[in-house]
Amino acid sequence: MSNATVVVVTSGKGGVGKTTTTAAIASALAKEGYQVCAIDFDVGLRNLDLIMGAERRVVFDLVNVVRGEASIKQALVRDKKLNNLYLLPASQTRDKDALTEEGVASVISELRMYFDWVICDSPAGIERGATLAMRHADEAIIVSNPEVSSVRDCDRIIGLLDAKTKIAEDGGRMPKHLMITRYDTERAKSGDMLETDDVVDILSVPLIGVVPESKDVLKASNVGLPITVSDETSPASKAYMEAVRRLLGENIPVTIPEEKKSFLGKLFKGRAA
């Protein structure tokens, strides 16, 4: 019998890469041999199924399970490539109150028995869906772009993680990891983008990974494969795999992505040096 670690992937702001990160981390953990379940908490706007390429195999969803209309085992969708990776989809219902506190608590505690890792993909915002996604987490991955509005919203979310979660209410402190996504090294170097150290300074959360802006991420979502499955050589994929090793407790330095230099770029650099 397992006793899973529950991780919430959250950010406050939408569009920063929560779902991409959830899919990438869940798949990378599964590739390490762990039993992994990814849960989509974005009721009404589910997308984790699409990013993981499971959209055509969804029968039941989280709301069905919470309402007792389906068992967890009926609702779990097994990944088409990794047979130790499962998805618990969100429903497309418009009823925002479809998830109840007790219902979610019982789903999470049942999943803890079957899996090693449960990764909760939070919806954007600070409403019910987001607070329920973080409620039972043991650890949090906070996803931020190196951009002012995203960093500010992360700060709000950190406040919620330290106030509205089970751990916080029991007097503990939620362990947090910062994942910076869509990072552009060149722009940061030239002073047009916040550097990773700036974001770490402001939020005071240790860095778990820096994912470079990459065309491979869109390509992966186009075909419905997590980036860590579709293209292992992509810098974005490597960044996620490195983050997973850190999540597993390895003490390795965070790689700040380097821009791949074109031949012309190298030439220019050579001439100028």
User: Tell me, what amino acid is at 57?
Assistant: R
Q: What is the DSSP letter of 273?
A: -
Among 198, 206, 218, 258, binds another protein (CB under 8 A): 198
Instruction: By CB under 8 A, name the one of 29, 66, 160, 188 that touches another protein.
Output: 188
Integer angstrom CA distances of residue 2 from 137, 197, 245: 16, 37, 20
Residue 232 Cβ vs another protein, minimum distance, rounded to whole Å: 30
Q: Return the number of the residue (67 or 269) whose C-beta is nearest another protein.
A: 269
* C-alpha–C-alpha distance, residues 133 and 263, integer Å: 46
Task: State the greatest distance between any 2 C-alpha atoms of the chain, in Å, as a whole number.
Answer: 68
Q: Which stretch binds another protein (CB under 8 A): 6-14, 196-204, 213-221, 250-258?
A: 196-204
- Helices of type H across the chain: 18-31, 48-51, 62-66, 72-75, 101-114, 128-135, 148-161, 166-169, 185-189, 196-203, 215-223, 227-230, 235-247, 263-272
The footprint of another protein on this chain (CB under 8 A) covers a number of residues equal to: 22
273 part of the interface to another protein, by CB under 8 A: yes
By CB under 8 A, name the one of 95, 101, 127, 201 that touches another protein.
201
Site for another protein in 143-172 (CB under 8 A): 147-148, 151-152, 155-156, 159
**Binding interface with another protein (CB under 8 A):** 147-148, 151-152, 155-156, 159, 188, 190-195, 198, 201-202, 268-269, 271-273
